Chain A
Amino acid sequence: MSFRRIVFGAAGVAGAVALLEVVSRTGLVDASALPPATTVLGEAAKLAVDGKFLADVAATLQAWFGGLALAVLVAVPLGVLLGSVPLLGTAARALVELMRPIPSVALIPLAIILFADPTQMKMSLIFYACLWPILINTLYALRDVDPVAKDSLRSFGFGTPSVLWRVSLPSAAPFITTGVRIAASVALIVVVSTELLAGGINGVGIYLSSTQAGGGRTDLLLAGAVWAGVLGLLANLALLGLERVAFRWHSAKVEAIA
């Protein structure tokens, strides 16, 4: 990322913070409904050293990474299988298209019945939500591997397993990683909404609903939401960074064509 982009990005954030501050301080919006941005950020800073809140973050992260990792472990091999055996891919297609639009949160009641442990329950819902973007990206990436690349290796006498391992998987890897990145942001939404709706012991969503107990503290609610946003941002940046470093050949090739 260039220095220029960082400066402009920071300026955008500062501008939005300033706008919210003005709107609240001037009384355009009721300050108890939308507290000034500085108040929210001040509370967010306090949360960063609040042991109870950090335990909530840890619980959310645990379910998030656990569910995502499980989805990767299942969806990638499954996608490779469905993407490289056309018959299986076609057979699975209708099922995938039927299951995919079911919102994870619609399955919360089922997950509560199936899993007594809240972490397991959250992980299972994240797993379900993450399965589809990763599976579909893997499946289509495998199906779209350049036939010339495959023939190039085949023409040196390499068999199907070698072509899969040495050509199909490397050329599909950037698209699979993009699927994981999309899934990671979906997972954050799912984990926080599950915590909000289903309750439990620890979690950012639990913290958010606790701020509304009694009088209701909008500043604390928003401070928690800020942290949820920061977590999503960091996860996305980490995966984007991985894509840039590991798949430099891919972005360079795309730029060369463009």
Chain B
Amino acid sequence: MLQITGLTHSYGGDGLKVLDGLDLTVPDGQLVSIVGPSGCGKSTLLRCIAGLIQPTGGRLTLDGRPINGVPDDLAVVFQDYSRSLFPWLSVRDNVALPLRRRGKSRSERRAAAEEALESVGLHDAGRKYPWQLSGGMQQRVSIARALAYRPSLLLMDEPFGSVDAQTREDLEDLVLQVHRTEKMTILLVTHDIDESVYVGDRVVVLNRSPARVHADLPVGLPSVRDQIDTRGLPEFVQLRAEVGRLVRGGARVPGAAPVGAQPAGVAEAKGAGAKPAP
């Protein structure tokens, strides 16, 4: 379980405050979408969880242990696959490299890499180099690299922001499939409202910088999702509208639960959720 309490971060000492007392608890195995206006501190939040930056205030624990440096069972998928993959290594070696931390032999690392590539549908790309692949395939390689590492917590920082719409849908389904089969906890940061609802078990909306949790909505859609059917469901449409309103900074008190004075349609959407509407 990931527990965040009062997370605050400012860049450059007492400079720009990006996060301001953010609280979030994520139980094991949940897929949480994090949305918010651009520049609201979503990436900073992920970087704090990943231990890549030391927050200026607040408390982060993973399975009860405070996060102090990069946690062991964690992997990150960055938006910019072309900068995140190493062009001097073959696709297979890119995927196999992090497994050095797992104390595996060379042949074990390669076998695990091939297996992970297979699971993202890239079984014959191992000997190629990342720059010989399309953008969508490169992002699949980053996902395979994260999967091969077998993390219990997977962080994805706008992972589909730089691919075309068709590829984006394929990759969203890949994440859903991975989540079903690997049972890992996934935090997916996105600025795409549709995506946040389509992929998430839960959507966390952050407000404008300095960010804290603006709203926290359960997604009551069936666990097996389909790009055409799911997006056509009234629950999907209504939840999407509500998240959209929240992201645009709707008339809601920061931190308040998304209940109370809301349009009838939205209340209905809540009713359709897995959790009963209060």
Contacts and interface: CB of A to CB of B under 8 A. Distances in A.
Interface of A: 146, 148-149, 151-158, 166-167, 170-171, 247, 249-250, 252-253, 256
Given A157-B101, A170-B88, A250-B87, A152 B76 contact: yes
B98 interface: yes
Main secondary structure of the interface of A (DSSP, over half): helix
Interface string B72-103: 10111010100111111000000001100100
Contact of A151 (B71, B75, B78): B78
9 contacts: A146-B83, A155-B70, A156-B75, A157-B101, A158-B101, A170-B86, A249-B129, A249-B131, A256-B131
A109 B249 CA distance: 74
Given A156-B101, A156-B149, A249 B74 contact: no
B166 to A, nearest CB: 21
B129 A155 contact: no
A176 to B, nearest CB: 13
B269 to A, nearest CB: 36
Interface residues of B, number: 24
Contacts of A152: 76, 78, 83-86
Interface of B: 47, 50, 52, 70-72, 74-76, 78, 80, 83-88, 97-98, 101, 129, 131-132, 149
A166 to B, nearest CB: 7
Given A156-B98, A256-B131, A249 B50 contact: no
B129 A252 contact: yes
A157 B84 CA distance: 15
A250 B97 CA distance: 19
A155 B67 CA distance: 13
